[in-house]
Structure 1
């Protein structure tokens, strides 16, 4: 056999490689059905639909049939995953998992007619199913017998929670990619604040000194801008004493100005108290984004012990959304008596007389709504 020596083409590229990856792109959506008992009697084939959610480039919906989809199986509730995207390039290959959440958040999966608890690190995915224009649904006709579901551990406070996890399979080819470093701007500003490099102003708060930079403060706060560079700027702007503010609150304020984040604390009660003070500081220095973030956090974490102080704060700083949320919370029959026993409510009565009238109206609205709702239920 003759030996042939090959000469490398100088214009040919170096040996190359391509990689084909086939893996599911996973995502999940939770459908919470409040007032579950009132869904009974909607009718066969009638369903409650979740919002659309995106997984693997496709839009999906969960559909819950409280009286079943077909007459022959009307004693069962039914579930359906629907491909909601109107246009897509190729058929969708899907693995899926339905779970019900019990009263403490454990996940339960149905297998062979029985529900079994799913360990935290496990999946019970079923598939693959190929969906296309002719078949856009994955249907579970006899998901759970209605009467058994009504008395099961999965209905708490008349609420049923269903979680659906999808794994959409796509095949992709790896191409050479340039690694682009993520932005470290926030870290740089955080280091600048901590290092004090180039600082040209200091603040004294409760005996503690904080160093900062006038230009950065001015770009974030119209109050600081007027104080340092306005027509009526103060004479001594190198050392400023801050009154009526706690040192941890001012530290959090500076942290937001430099890093655009507010702190997350381990203690929820402490977190709420700091957020209340931080809202007042944001209003004082005209930092609207921080003000909005504080309002949102307070609205999401209202408690019996803090609602009165949050309401007083909303009244003082003109926070309409927080004020409305607090009034609705206090107006609920299960909350009203407990709130009235708190020191915060006693202080509220003394300092904000006008708010009591609005609170009475809120209580009245809740009671009228409750009586109407119960009346409708009796009529049915």
Structure 2
């Protein structure tokens, strides 16, 4: 069997050797830098109420009615509603969000939802809300939902297209100063 002498003098001698070993072979100091990325955004909701829908029905594919303009994130926007849909998706009601003014060179990045609400304010169970993030690059550019609801499923003469819009600013990266 092996016997270990744990006398205080021996432990102190051993620790002293370890400490002196580390002291003579220390690593150079490590440089630490940091940066932070901050992204700001502005969010708003616009409700485009459509009354007497039956009077719009039959106006033709790719024909639209336009909401009033609304301002979010320093930009003007509007919603187009195609009661008879888009030629790429016949038989559906379509809705699109458009940038009204000029876009900066990098475009305007926006995350938005287009939902069809019934008169009671609840999302229509037969509709397909669109949740999307896109960059609007030119004046008038638009993105939307070709098939927000089948025309045959749309009951009633009044509904709302709700647009939840978040305009995302260009991220800012800054170097953090050391403590």
Distance 1:172 1:48, change over 3 A: same
Q: Number of residue pairs matched?
A: 142
Distance 1:57 1:109, change over 3 A: farther
C-alpha contact 2:98 2:142 (8 A) present in aligned 1? yes
Deviations 1:142-187 (A, max 9, x none): 22111211x2xxx3xx21111101111103659xxxxxxxxxxxxx
What is the 5 A alignment of 1:249-264?
Answer: none
1:142 aligns with 147
1:98 aligns with 114
1:40 aligns with 2:57: yes
1:57 aligns with 74
Of the two structures, which has the highest relative contact order with CA contacts closer than 8 Å and spacing of 6 or more? Answer: 2
So what's the TM-score if we normalise by structure 1? Answer: 0.33
So what's the TM-score if we normalise by structure 2? Answer: 0.67
Distance 1:45 1:30, change over 3 A: same
Quick one: distance in 1 between partners of 2:139 and 2:51?
33
Give unpaired runs (5+ residues) of structure 2.
1-23, 25-33, 174-179
Quick one: distance in 1 between partners of 2:71 and 2:45?
9
Distance 1:109 1:81, change over 3 A: farther
Distance 1:30 1:94, change over 3 A: same
What is the 5 A alignment of 1:239-254?
Answer: none
Quick one: distance in 2 between partners of 1:88 and 1:68?
30
Quick one: distance in 2 between partners of 1:22 and 1:99?
26
The structure with the greater share of residues assigned to strand is 2
C-alpha contact 2:100 2:140 (8 A) present in aligned 1? no
1:78 aligns with 94
Quick one: distance in 2 between partners of 1:170 and 1:126?
19
Structure 2 counterpart SS, 1:43: coil
Computing the radius of gyration from Cα coordinates, the structure with the larger value is: 2
Give unpaired runs (5+ residues) of structure 1.
2-16, 117-123, 175-380
What is the 5 A alignment of 1:307-326?
Answer: none
Quick one: distance in 2 between partners of 1:139 and 1:125?
7
Distance 1:136 1:65, change over 3 A: same
Q: Shift of residue 80 of structure 1? A: 0.7
1:246 aligns with none
C-alpha contact 2:117 2:161 (8 A) present in aligned 1? yes
Deviations 1:206-253 (A, max 9, x none): xxxxxxxxxxxxxxxxxxxxxxxxxxxxxxxxxxxxxxxxxxxxxxxx
